[in-house]
């Protein structure tokens, strides 16, 4: 029988997609599952976005389109980047099928076998899998809850070797919702200035920032990094449009040229209708997205109010995205309904089986001390899910006679 490549044989299916499939299967069996597992922001784009999409269908030429993206998409993206204080020219930007595709192609363009890629942990689940697909080696820099899941510059200094090729940075973060302050970004940027490595800045949650905080980019604090840094953007989260599959990236012309060669060899161009909708999202009124952020901030507050009342569970306050990442490890080694909970997998499995609540185990993000809550569901679902979550811990404390010091 013909064999598959080693590359795909060793590849892992996405952990988040695996949990989503399990949830669908249980729902089909009639179970009343609440899912806090999906990375979908749960709001729809505004009317002007749909109008632009309809117009694109009506005026469709049926032709292949520019690989970089349509003129209007490129112009709208450049304008938005400029408004964020990140000026780029047309030859320094291009489109992709979502941020995921941009990241995948960037790694293809940058990596040789055995090159090392520095990744702060917890990380977005696909980073290491993508690196390994191109025979690179992920090097993890562990950022536990005790350091607010945030990377310190000295961790980069300690992890750098002659083989380091790329540093990957995601701010605000999936899975923790952490947002780096200006000083924290600057400290990381100062360290990165010392090293001749690529920087991939995954900024796809940059509009999703709460409490009047500001998003600070590495190029705001350290403009000297511009020649080795690539910004990755997407309409999936900021504009509630994950299924439309449009990502954008901006960086030095030489990397953008290489990326256009890759997409010219693989996809030719992204589709006309999605490009028109993305151009409208980037370039049109932003209030539909702003409103969605206000709602998400309220939901974040609801989650944190419940977590704060669960003794022994620690959760640094998320300031962006729509995730919280409670550290539940003080309950490991104890039982729930007679089942030993030794790690995040046991915890999430038991939570799903007994409370019909789905979370993604933290080990999918390289941090087994906890699990990811995605709270972008409707309020009723959120309230019911949080009740089930809190009940689970109450039961564990009662069944194990657990008492925690409450700070």
Point out which residues bind ligand PLP (CB under 6 A).
39, 98-100, 124, 170, 174, 202, 204, 234, 236, 242, 247
CB closer to ligand PLP out of 170 and 369 = 170
- Shortest gap between Cβ of 177 and ligand PLP (angstroms)? 11
Are the C-beta atoms of 289 and 53 separated by less than 8 Å?
no
Note if the bond before 122 is cis, omega within 30 degrees. Answer: yes
Q: What's the CA gap between 398 and 335, in Å, rounded? A: 10
CB closer to ligand PLP out of 95 and 255 = 95
> Which residue number has the CB closest to ligand PLP?
98
Beta bridge partners, 35, equal 358
CB closer to ligand PLP out of 17 and 390 = 17
- Shortest gap between Cβ of 130 and ligand PLP (angstroms)? 10
Beta bridge partners, 201, equal 169, 231
* Exposure of 405 in the CB half-sphere (CA atoms within 13 A): 1
Among 41, 122, 128, residue whose Cα is nearest residue 326: 122
CB closer to ligand PLP out of 109 and 204 = 204
- Shortest gap between Cβ of 305 and ligand PLP (angstroms)? 25
CB closer to ligand PLP out of 221 and 238 = 238
Across 288-362, the runs of DSSP E, i.e. the strands, are 323-324, 334-336, 339-341, 357-358, 360-361
CB closer to ligand PLP out of 78 and 204 = 204
How many Cβ atoms are within 10 Å of 2's Cβ, its own excluded? 3
- Pair of tokens at residue 132: 């390994």
Q: What's the CA gap between 260 and 239, in Å, rounded? A: 25
47-284-169 Cα angle (round to 5): 110
- Shortest gap between Cβ of 21 and ligand PLP (angstroms)? 16
- Shortest gap between Cβ of 98 and ligand PLP (angstroms)? 3
Q: What's the CA gap between 49 and 246, in Å, rounded? A: 13
The region that residue 185 occupies, defined by phi over 0 for left and psi between -120 and 50 for alpha, beta otherwise, is alpha
Q: In this structure, are strands 198-202 and 164-170 parallel, antiparallel, or unpaired?
A: parallel
- Shortest gap between Cβ of 405 and ligand PLP (angstroms)? 35
Name the percent of the chain in helix, strand, coil, to the closest 5: 45, 15, 40
CB closer to ligand PLP out of 245 and 355 = 245
- Shortest gap between Cβ of 370 and ligand PLP (angstroms)? 17
Which residues neighbour 290 within 8 Å (Cβ) at sequence distance 6 or greater?
none
CB closer to ligand PLP out of 124 and 282 = 124
Q: What's the CA gap between 280 and 274, in Å, rounded? A: 10
CB closer to ligand PLP out of 247 and 362 = 247
DSSP H or E segment with residue 232? strand 229-234
- Shortest gap between Cβ of 124 and ligand PLP (angstroms)? 4
- Shortest gap between Cβ of 6 and ligand PLP (angstroms)? 25
CB closer to ligand PLP out of 201 and 222 = 201
CB closer to ligand PLP out of 198 and 393 = 198
Are the C-beta atoms of 44 and 240 separated by less than 8 Å?
yes
Among 336, 343, 300, residue whose Cα is nearest residue 210: 300
Q: In this structure, are strands 360-361 and 371-374 parallel, antiparallel, or unpaired?
A: antiparallel
Are the C-beta atoms of 360 and 372 separated by less than 8 Å?
yes
- Shortest gap between Cβ of 303 and ligand PLP (angstroms)? 18
- Shortest gap between Cβ of 103 and ligand PLP (angstroms)? 6
């Amino acid at each position: 029988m013909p064999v598959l490549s080693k590359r795909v044989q060793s590849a892992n299916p996405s952990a988040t997609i695996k949990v989503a499939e399990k949830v669908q299967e249980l729902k089909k069996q009639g179970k009343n599952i609440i899912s806090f597992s999906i990375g979908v922001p749960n709001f729809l784009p505004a009317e002007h976005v749909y109008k632009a999409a309809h117009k694109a269908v009506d005026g469709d030429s049926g032709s292949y389109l520019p690989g970089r993206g349509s003129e209007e998409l490129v112009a709208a993206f450049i304008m938005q980047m400029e408004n964020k204080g990140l000026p780029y020219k047309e030859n320094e930007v291009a489109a992709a099928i979502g941020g995921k595709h941009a990241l995948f192609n960037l790694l293809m363009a940058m990596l040789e076998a055995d090159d090392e890629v520095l990744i702060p942990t917890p990380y977005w689940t696909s980073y290491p899998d993508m690196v390994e697909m191109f025979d690179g080696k992920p090097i993890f820099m562990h950022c536990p809850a005790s350091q607010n899941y945030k990377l310190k510059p000295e961790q980069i200094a300690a992890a750098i070797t002659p083989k380091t090729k790329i540093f990957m940075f995601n701010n605000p973060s999936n899975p923790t919702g952490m947002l780096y302050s200006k000083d924290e970004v600057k400290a990381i940027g100062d360290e990165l200035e010392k090293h001749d490595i690529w920087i991939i800045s995954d900024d796809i949650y940059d509009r999703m920032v709460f409490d009047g905080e500001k998003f600070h980019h590495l190029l705001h604090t350290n403009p000297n990094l511009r020649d080795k840094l690539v910004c990755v953007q997407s309409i999936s989260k900021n504009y509630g449009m994950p299924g439309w599959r449009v990502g954008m990236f901006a960086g030095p012309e030489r990397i953008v040229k290489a990326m256009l060669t890759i997409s010219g060899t693989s996809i030719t161009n992204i589709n006309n209708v999605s490009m028109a909708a993305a151009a409208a999202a980037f370039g049109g009124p932003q209030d539909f997205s702003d409103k969605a952020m206000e709602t998400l901030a309220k939901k974040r507050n609801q989650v944190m109010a419940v977590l704060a009342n669960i003794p022994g569970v620690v959760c640094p306050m998320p300031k962006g995205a729509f995730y919280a990442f409670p550290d539940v490890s003080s309950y490991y080694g104890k039982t729930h309904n007679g089942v030993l909970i030794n790690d995040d997998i046991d915890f999430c499995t038991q939570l799903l089986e007994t409370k019909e609540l789905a979370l993604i185990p933290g080990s999918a993000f390289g941090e087994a001390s906890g699990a990811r809550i995605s709270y972008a569901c409707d309020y009723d679902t959120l309230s019911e899910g949080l009740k089930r979550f809190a009940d689970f811990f109450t039961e564990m404390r009662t069944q194990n006679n657990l008492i925690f010091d409450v700070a």
